[in-house]
Amino acid sequence: MSVPPGLPQNLSAFDEGGSGEWLPEAPLKLYTNAFVLHGDKILLGLKKRGLGVNKYNGFGGKVESRESTLEAALRELKEESGITAPLELAGTLLFVVPGEKWAHIDIFRAENYSGTVTESEEMCPEWFNQASIPYEKMWETDRTWLPLLLSKRPFAVRADFGRNSAENYTLRRWWVGVHSPTV
Please give the Cα distance from 83 to 114 (Å, whole number): 6
Does 43 engage in binding with ligand 6U4 (CB under 6 A)?
Answer: no
CB 48 within 8 A of CB 121: yes
**For ligand 6U4, the closer CB: 42 or 93:** 93
Does 160 engage in binding with ligand 6U4 (CB under 6 A)?
Answer: no
Query: Hey, which bits of the chain come out as E strands?
Result: 11-18, 28-38, 41-47, 56-57, 83-84, 88-96, 102-110, 114-115, 123-129, 155-165, 168-179
**For ligand 6U4, the closer CB: 11 or 92:** 92
Does 159 engage in binding with ligand 6U4 (CB under 6 A)?
Answer: yes
Does 108 engage in binding with ligand 6U4 (CB under 6 A)?
Answer: no
Nearest-CB residue for ligand 6U4 = 61
Which range of residues in 9-17, 34-42, 59-67, 110-118 is near ligand 6U4 by CB under 6 A?
Answer: 59-67
Please give the Cα distance from 150 to 154 (Å, whole number): 10
Task: Give the binding site for ligand 6U4 (CB under 6 A).
Answer: 31, 33, 50-52, 57, 60-62, 93, 95, 103, 105, 139, 141-142, 159
